Each structure stands twice: as structure tokens, then as C-alpha cells.
């Protein structure tokens, strides 16, 4: 039997990722699919993390080949949708997968934007974002080509669907005109929204351990009041100031209510916005802050984030967070 090459292992990884998701990319599963021993696996890869990186690099390389015509991006999306969806689910909790997906998304958007610019369309970037979002949305819904044809007919050739390897260009002048008339219509945010729970009487640790067990999540951050520089009596030092648990498609954050803070059962959920851009954070803070009650002014905090809290004019509680990128350390 011919010994497998590193590319055989990676190709198997791509097939497993497509069929069962990133959870299937274990040494045991891959060795079973290859009918090889773990020794053979470790002959090619130092550990499972390096294997994951190789699978993502191959997926990125396959998606990043220079397109030869305007329909190639659409063809790839149509033909590799299961693998695409698997990588998107993986990227929800894995930073390496997130980086690979961001690179591919940026390259695909650039292709679509170039096409619209070459066709002389106004606002090619906006058109590309709309087109790409609609492509991914139709895929996620599993819309069949005949349904796409009906959508296109209903909207008067304004929708797009793969036809003979090409997508029809979007005509969205109405949307763009609305953006010019009303500047409050913002571009899509590059941020995530996470439920944030509060618990009374030091119950946070017990509650989040329960949720993690039931939801198959793991703790990725945990800080007690005793770990912080804030003054705290000995009886409450073990209470949780913050905890984050993550599962493949879920993130939950929580804390214990500080002693003396009122707690009303059923109203202990806050929405946490986590930004990657400080300018976007400022824009959203200003918008939510119209008529709001500021609970904590936006500013630098001791844990290294730029953070603020408010209750908007509708009574919804928000946490607005930005973690500045940490400077690279010199090796």
C-alpha cells in the first residue's frame, strides 16, 4: 500500500469538515477515515492544531485562485456551499478559521466590486456587499434554482441566482438613494452581539457551569471580584466579576451582581456589543445614547478594554466593548 502524502490527509480533512463540521477534525476520526495509525498522522503533523491550520490553508488556497471570469466566485460559492457553511460555523469560535474566512470574504468582495466598477455601476462597493450578502443568504436557505428564477422575475431582474455559471448584477438604486437621503442607514457592522446574564447571591458560577454542561460549552475566560483591583470584602472575593463560555455556535457572558445591587428576576439580561473598530464603537454608542440613561461612561477600563454601559430609551440594557489589538511581541 502506498503511504499517504500530507495532501491525502488534508483532502480527507476537507471532506470530513464538509460532511460533519470542525468537530469531526479529531486525530481519531481522521485516522479512521484514512485507515491509518496515529503514528502516521503525527509523521506529517506536529499536533491536531497544525493539521487544522493546514486544512484551512488548503481551503483558503482553493478559494483564492485568481478568477478567470466574473462568474467564478459565484460558481465556487454554489459548488462548495457545504464546506463554506462548515468554515463559517468553525469561525464563530476559532480565531484561525476566522482569519481564513475573513481573507476569503475580502477577496470575493474585491472580485464583485471590480466587476461592478468595470460595468460603470454607481457605488460598486455597496453593490458588491449587497450581492455577496444575497448569495450567502440564498445558500443558507437552500433556495433551489427555480425559486431563484421566481425571485428574479418578481423583482424585475434585480435579484441574482447562478445561471450558466454567472450571476445577474443587482440593481439597487432605491436602496442607495435611501442611504443618500438618510445617513442614519448604516453599513453592516463588523461586530458581534452576545447575551450577558447577571445572577444574585453568588449563583453565577453554579449557573454557568450548568449551562456549559447542558450546551456543550467550555469556559474561555473567568475572573472573580478578588482577581480585580476593585475593593471587595472577603465574603465576596470568590464571586464572579466576569465569565465567558463558548460552544461552536453560541457565546454566553455573565457575572454575579455586586453586593447591594438590586436584582429583579427575569430582567437580568444585557446585550453586549463587541467591536473590532473604535470608530464604529463611537458611532453606535452615540446612536444608542440618544435619550438613554448612561450607567457607565464609555472609557478605558482596568482590564484593557474601552467599555461603557447604558439603558436605551426603550429600556434595553447595552454593554459596548472594544478590545484594542495587542501589539505584536518581538521574538
Q: Where are the domains of the chain?
A: 1-63, 69-188, 191-323
Query: Cβ contacts of residue 85 below 8 Å, gap of 6+?
Result: 139, 140
pLDDT at 78 over 60: no
Q: 3-class secondary structure for 85-126? A: HHHHHHHCCCHHHHHHHHHHHHHHHHHHHHHHHHCCCCCHHH
Report d(CA 258, CA 86) in Å as an integer. 40
Calculate mean pLDDT across residues 128-145.
63
Q: Which of the two residues, 136 and 274, has the higher pLDDT score?
A: 274
Task: Output the pLDDT for position 226.
Answer: 87
pLDDT at 266 over 90: no
Task: Output the pLDDT for position 205.
Answer: 93
- Which listed CATH number (3.40.50.1100, 3.10.450.50, 1.10.10.60, 3.100.10.10) goes with 1-63? 1.10.10.60
Max Cα separation, the chain? 72
Q: What is the mean pLDDT of the chain?
A: 75
Give the pTM: 0.43
Nearest to 80 by CA among 50, 101, 102: 101
Task: Output the pLDDT for position 65.
Answer: 56
Q: Which of the two residues, 322 and 177, has the higher pLDDT score?
A: 322
Task: Output the pLDDT for position 141.
Answer: 53
What SS3 state is found at 330? coil
Tens digits of residue pLDDT in 12-50: 999 999 888 899 999 999 999 998 888 888 888 888 888
Q: What CATH number has the domain spanning 191-323?
A: 3.10.180.10
* Same fold flag, 1-63 and 191-323: no
With bands split at pLDDT 50, 70 and 90, how would you rate the model's confidence at 200? confident
Task: Output the pLDDT for position 227.
Answer: 85
Task: Output the pLDDT for position 137.
Answer: 64
Report d(CA 218, CA 21) in Å as an integer. 18
pLDDT at 51 over 80: yes
pLDDT at 330 over 60: no
Asked if 191 contacts 279 with a C-beta cutoff of 8 angstroms, the reply is no
Amino acid at each position: 500500500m502506498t503511504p499517504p502524502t500530507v495532501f491525502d490527509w488534508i483532502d480527507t480533512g476537507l471532506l470530513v469538515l464538509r460532511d460533519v463540521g470542525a468537530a469531526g477534525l479529531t486525530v481519531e476520526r481522521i485516522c479512521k477515515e484514512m485507515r491509518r495509525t496515529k503514528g502516521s498522522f503525527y509523521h506529517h503533523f506536529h499536533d491536531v492544531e497544525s493539521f487544522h491550520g493546514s486544512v484551512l490553508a488548503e481551503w483558503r488556497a482553493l478559494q483564492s485562485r485568481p478568477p478567470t471570469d466574473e462568474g467564478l466566485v459565484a460558481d465556487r460559492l454554489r459548488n462548495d456551499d457545504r464546506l463554506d457553511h462548515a468554515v463559517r460555523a468553525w469561525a464563530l469560535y476559532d480565531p484561525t478559521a476566522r482569519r481564513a474566512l475573513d481573507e476569503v470574504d475580502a477577496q470575493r468582495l474585491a472580485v464583485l466590486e471590480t466587476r461592478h466598477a468595470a460595468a460603470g455601476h454607481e457605488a460598486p462597493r455597496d453593490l458588491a456587499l449587497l450581492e455577496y450578502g444575497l448569495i450567502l443568504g440564498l445558500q443558507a436557505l437552500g433556495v433551489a434554482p427555480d425559486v431563484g428564477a421566481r425571485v428574479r422575475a418578481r423583482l424585475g431582474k434585480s435579484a441574482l441566482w447562478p445561471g450558466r455559471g454567472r450571476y445577474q448584477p443587482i440593481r439597487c438604486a432605491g436602496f442607495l438613494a435611501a442611504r443618500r437621503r438618510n445617513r442614519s442607514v448604516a453599513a453592516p457592522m463588523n461586530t458581534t452581539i452576545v447575551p450577558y446574564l447577571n445572577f444574585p447571591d453568588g449563583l453565577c458560577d453554579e449557573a454557568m457551569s450548568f449551562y456549559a454542561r447542558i450546551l456543550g460549552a467550555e469556559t474561555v475566560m473567568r475572573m472573580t471580584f478578588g482577581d480585580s483591583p476593585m475593593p471587595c470584602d472577603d465574603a465576596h472575593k470568590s464571586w464572579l466579576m466576569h465569565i465567558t463560555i463558548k460552544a461552536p455556535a453560541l457565546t454566553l457572558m455573565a457575572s454575579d451582581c455586586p453586593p447591594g445591587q438590586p436584582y429583579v428576576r427575569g430582567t437580568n439580561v444585557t446585550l453586549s456589543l463587541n467591536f473590532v473598530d473604535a470608530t464604529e464603537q463611537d458611532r453606535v454608542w452615540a446612536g444608542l445614547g440618544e435619550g438613554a440613561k448612561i450607567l457607565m461612561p464609555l472609557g478605558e477600563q482596568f482590564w484593557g478594554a474601552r467599555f461603557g454601559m447604558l439603558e436605551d430609551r426603550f429600556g434595553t440594557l447595552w454593554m459596548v466593548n472594544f478590545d484594542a489589538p495587542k501589539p505584536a511581541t518581538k521574538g
